[in-house]
Structure 1
Amino acid sequence: MKTLDEFQAVYHLPLPDLMFRAAEVHRQYRDYRDIQRCALLSIKTGGCPEDCGYCSQSAHYETPVAREPLMSVGEVRQRAEEAKARGATRFCMGAAWRSPKDGPEFDRVLDMVRVVRDLDMEACVTLGMLSASQAERLAEAGLTAYNHNLDTSREYYSQVITTRTYDDRLDTLKHVSKAGIQVCSGGILGMGETENDRLLMLAELAQLDPPPESVPVNCLMPGTGTPMEGAKPVDSIELVRLIATARIAFPKARVRLSAGRDRMSRELQILCFLAGADSIFFGEKLLTAPNPTHDADADLFRAMGFDVPAAVSTGSCRTALPVTVSSCSPCS
């Protein structure tokens, strides 16, 4: 699928047909029980010069999020070790920057990537826009994946962000891909966009060569003080339809059920898994937003008849399901 018409034809199938087709594709390429449980660490919080209307870390808005400087390499190592002890195999770090500047802080991020890789974990970062040389340096440091969401369609983008362009985002994805780093890119639902805007975003991602390694689907977490504070919740069936469409369009990618799970019922989350989602965040915080507890996720897996990772139920470092730390967040 490449065009809006093709995406619409799939998205508007009768729901049972859409779900069945997505499940067929999913099982063709993955074990449906292989649901990655993901975590995310904010290594530099708040004070971002971008005006993303959904983000509580933007310096343009009065929000409760306090600014915090870039963490030390030692702090990141400790957090990565803790994540690995809970079974994580991929560790992601997010920094609230428009784009990183070359110099001591970027060098520190490179060291963070090396530390994570030295722990025999995959490393992922989301730092904003990158130059080609920065992408190359991240690749040399061993970076596995880079998250940079398109957020929405090209047509609706200016209603969300004015401090950078859609092509700025695509340029970063091109730099990352050319450097040999895996691309993680998706969008945010619930910002006032139409269903066609969401499908156009997927169509834009489908033009990438190679296609994204993972496609995060975020539901807006309305932040106090942001322009989208009063946004309405995303329609549940629209969410399920988009996940199923993404699964069909990107059969080999991880389709990540990312931000917003704390507002979803257990039944809705299970529907999303049936539609092809195969990744969630674990931990009670996503950068600055709440997330379901470990106990709630353990109950969710039990309800689906899956083995519950021992790290969740007993605190041990062995797991029965694949556990991965991902870079999917709505703040990149």
Structure 2
Amino acid sequence: MGAGTEQARKLISDAGASRVFYFIKEIIMSQAEIRNDWTKTEISEIFHSPIMELAFRAASVHRKFHNPNEVQVCTLLSVKTGGCSEDCKYCSQSVRYDTGLKVERLLEHEQVMEKANMAKENGSTRFCMGSAWRNIRDNRDFDRVLEMVKGVNAMGMEVCCTLGMLTEEQAQKLRDAGLFAYNHNLDTSREYYEEVITTRSYDDRLETIDNVRKAGIAVCSGGIIGLGESEDDRISMLWTLSNMEKHPESVPVNALVPVEGTPMEGNKRVSVWDMIRMISTARIIMPQSNIRLSAGRNEMPTSEQALCFMAGANSIFAGDKLLTTPNPNFSNDQEMFDLLGLEPKEAFKEAKHYDVSVS
């Protein structure tokens, strides 16, 4: 048990159960601070706390920094599908695995603008473009992507890209074109990383994130659970993210969607409780970040997604496909939002302090 739990018990004993929620709120709010010096022991203590206590603490922290009724709605489009030289053992787009995926060329500018406009009309405020590249090359395709960034930015949407590794100069070109955020996931812990991918190192990933930061672009970085990793690996990944000089503005929490033909096709799907532990812990140690309920949402009923939102998730990917895997469509998400009383978060809106009482 953490120090906060023991403090709460003493206060309850001293003051009586009638004021329990008031005191717990005061303890949690006093602990909700921006820190970049978390220890793995501290994170492990949070992660392994009783799940009801964990979710309550995360929900309270969430309400201090975010409007709990707002969810950032993002759309992810694969602008260049398949043919990737990497050996990520979970990925349908690797040339090393026979997944039945058809390799496609970079989409035309007009196709991307049409998809972006459709996403905006359906309520998305962030549009992310992904390509199956190991790294960006300074060629005509990159120039075309820069034009796509300019086009989406002109629509008033937050524009994000995930294009693999990049240099500081390439990051600056994207920033100059109007890129708002860049996604580059850690995937898992440093300790487990080589069990998942060998064609680039963990430090390669961190270097790309550093280059993104230097260019003044918001960082979107999280990981995947269900890769065969241990709970210690999940904690280690969260430790790396939370101890960055500045926390990622967005932290996607993905549940592996096993793809036939990949080495991880037989992996067991993670439970909603695994997702809640990851989301809650991420929310507590990175309170200002948008915590994104990402891959795996298609297999989660509304009730399970609601629990994730209560635990601190405040961002989703919308649209019927997440790169190459199924995802809930816009109409299903709109029904869920209506049921839960949620609304899309405005574009370019930063986290701030909210005074939401616990009564």
Q: TM-score, normalised by structure 2?
A: 0.84
Within-5 A mapping of 1:213-292 = 213-292=249-328
SS of the residue corresponding to residue 94 of structure 2 reads: coil
Q: What displacement does 1:295 show?
A: 3.3
Within-5 A mapping of 1:89-104 = 89-104=125-140
Contact 1:36/1:279 (<8 A) preserved: yes
Partner amino acid for 1:228? M
Alpha-carbon distance in structure 1 between the residues aligned to 2:346 and 2:110: 23
The total of aligned residue pairs comes to 312
Alpha-carbon distance in structure 2 between the residues aligned to 1:299 and 1:9: 37
Q: Aligned residue for 2:345? A: 322
Partner amino acid for 1:178? K
Among 153, 173, 177, the residue aligned to 1:137: 173
SS of the residue corresponding to residue 280 of structure 1 reads: strand
1:208 correspondence with 2:244: yes
Q: What displacement does 1:245 show?
A: 0.3
Deviations 1:86-115 (A, max 9, x none): 222221100000001101111111111111
SS of the residue corresponding to residue 66 of structure 1 reads: coil
Q: What displacement does 1:296 show?
A: 2.6
Q: What displacement does 1:241 show?
A: 0.9
Q: Aligned residue for 1:183? A: 219
Contact 1:147/1:185 (<8 A) preserved: yes
SS of the residue corresponding to residue 246 of structure 2 reads: coil
Q: TM-score, normalised by structure 1?
A: 0.91
Contact 1:38/1:324 (<8 A) preserved: no
Alpha-carbon distance in structure 1 between the residues aligned to 2:272 and 2:56: 18
Q: Which runs of 5+ in 2 are unaligned?
A: 1-36, 349-359
Alpha-carbon distance in structure 1 between the residues aligned to 2:233 and 2:66: 28
Among 23, 41, 44, the residue aligned to 1:8: 44
Partner amino acid for 1:192? G
Kindly tell me: are residues 60 and 79 of structure 1, through their superposed partners in 2, closer, same or farther at Cα, counting changes over 3 Å?
A: same
Contact 2:124/2:318 (<8 A) preserved: no
Alpha-carbon distance in structure 2 between the residues aligned to 1:228 and 1:323: 37
Contact 1:26/1:276 (<8 A) preserved: yes
Percent pairwise identity? 53
Partner amino acid for 1:147? N
SS of the residue corresponding to residue 38 of structure 1 reads: strand
Partner amino acid for 1:229? E
Structure ID, larger Rg: 2
Alpha-carbon distance in structure 1 between the residues aligned to 2:89 and 2:123: 34
